[in-house]
Amino acid sequence: MAKFTPISGFPEWTPAERLTEKRIIHSIERRFELYGFASIETRSIEPLDVLLSKGDDKEIYVIKRLHADPDAQGGQDEGAVGLHFDLTVPFARYVLEFQHALSFPFKRYQIQKVWRGERKQEGRYREFYQCDVDIIGQGSLPLAYDIELPRLLYEVINELPIPNAVIKINNRKVLEGVYRGLGIEDIEGTLRVVDKLAKIGPDEVLAQLQVQCSLTQKAAQACLALGQIHGHDATFVEKVKALQVEHPLLDEGLEELCAVLNGCKDLPSGAVEVDLSIARGLNYYTGTVYEGYMVGHEHIGAVCSGGRYDNLAKGGRQPLPGIGVSIGITRILGYLFGRKLLTPVKGTPVDVMVILPDEVSRDAAFAVAQTLRRRGISTDVYHLPQNFGKQMKAAEKRGVRYVLFMGNSDGESHQIKDLVSGDQYEIDIEQWLPETDVSHFNLKGAK
């Protein structure tokens, strides 16, 4: 039995949980496609040197054939390869490799599993779905896309059976502009410390900025004050200006950030807010950055994040600037399933179970099922002619809402029993439709 133990970090769902995950993925895909994003998938492996140049090498899983060909010398076979640890590195490579087949701006989404050889820790997965959406331009990319993404993200999350999200935005140019205006040299180090504000608190940020980044007390205090600015409207600009720091990059950043905030002003209040502590760890971001948090569950950290980068896919004839966000589907679901905040109630796609009265009625039952299936209604025939009570109970246990009792060949009508309302009534199988507002899951707390 030891071999049937779960493997830590490699989650698997029950059919009911998977049905929920599938509906969520389908809903995300549909929304992305309405916005014109095309699906791509990349192979699961990349050459090890490509992975190592971009990622923390501790997180990489290398793969090897158990018995490599003895006649394959070194690189003759596929060479040293590893499983991708995100979808950004493979996407950058794909854009360059398929450049001839793409139209720019290239809007793509990509929902695939990624693997990270992380140490075991709650909420950390070693295999999980990453759900990325990016727009890559050729030469340049209008600021309009910095507005499109948080709007899309808001719409996507709003229609999922998960808690509402707030999308916090910032602009790297604002931070870097202030830092440069203050004469700070270690821009990246300062960014990294400020990014930890929510985790380590203001005192520790002040201390680390002075000790690790060699900032003066005054500069450290200005950086902290900047990181503490947040708000839902353009008044944040006054607070930044009150710091009395000047730099052209700061002006540019404030202008962009105001434009993005303004572009989202018709979204419900609280959907998008400016938070100048959002810095994002990765060094390739150069403008707008995003982080999304589930309201009431902020302690699990950002569930989606992203930003603008000037030239991720280096190697083309022109720069390929882009902007993108990533949604951590597996992390969200693992948390919601694990805490029973989201409870799937249906373990099967079946809407109607045809009751099997006896063995000789099997063909007739199958014909009834075929008629309903042809009309788009998921239908199954009970597998054995057991007593009706047992068949109904089995259907109910699976979360099937309707059972169908077949009429006889003397023209008696088929009858449907609604296991939720308890109603039973005659139907014409060429006309009848199930209720469509069947709930597939319960979400704790209002949306």
HSE, side-chain direction, 13 A CA sphere, residue 245: 26
**Closest CB 3 distance from its own copies, rounded Å:** 5
Q: Give phi and psi for 155, each to the nearest 5.
A: -65, -45
Is 317 a binder of its own copies (CB under 8 A)? no
39 binds its own copies (CB under 8 A): yes
Does 349 engage in binding with its own copies (CB under 8 A)?
Answer: yes
* Residue count, binding to its own copies (CB under 8 A): 93
Distance of alpha carbon 206 from alpha carbon 426, whole angstroms:
74
Q: ∠ CA 50-51-55 to the nearest 5 degrees?
A: 130
DSSP letters, 12-57, are ---HHHHHHHHHHHHHHHHHHHHTTPEE----SEEEHHHHHHHS-G
Cα 416 from Cα 407, distance rounded (Å):
11
- Letters for 18-37 (x = contact with its own copies by CB under 8 A, - = none) are xx--x----------xxxxx
Return the HEC string of 228-271.
CCEECCCCHHHHHHCCCCCCHHHHHHHHHHHHHHHHCCCCCCCC
Which part of the chain contacts its own copies (CB under 8 A), choosing from 9-17, 240-248, 320-328, 430-438? Answer: 9-17
Tokens of 288: 């707008």
- Using CB under 8 A, which residues numbered 358 to 397 contact its own copies? 362-363, 366, 373, 376-381, 383-384, 394, 397
Residues with Cβ < 8 Å from 188, sequence gap 6 or more? Answer: 283
From the list 87, 89, 136, 141, which residue makes contact with its own copies (rule: CB under 8 A)?
141
Instruction: Choose between 373 and 444: whose C-beta lies nearer to its own copies.
Output: 373
- Find the angle CA(119)-CA(208)-CA(284) to the nearest 5 degrees: 60
Q: Which helix (H) or strand (E) holds 391?
A: helix 388-398
- CB 174, min distance to its own copies, A: 23
Residue 250 Cβ vs its own copies, minimum distance, rounded to whole Å: 24
What gap in Å lies between CA 343 and CA 161, rounded to an integer?
Answer: 10
Told to check if 337 binds its own copies by CB under 8 A, we report no
Residue 357 binds its own copies (CB under 8 A): no
Does residue 82 touch its own copies according to CB under 8 A? Answer: yes
Q: Is 282 in the site for its own copies (CB under 8 A)?
A: no
Which residues between 52 and 81 bind its own copies (CB under 8 A)? 57-58, 60-69, 78, 81
11 lies in the binding site for its own copies (CB under 8 A): yes
**Minimum CB separation from its own copies for residue 159, in Å?**
12
Is there binding between residue 432 and its own copies (CB under 8 A)? no
- Of 141 and 194, the one with the shorter C-beta distance to its own copies is 141
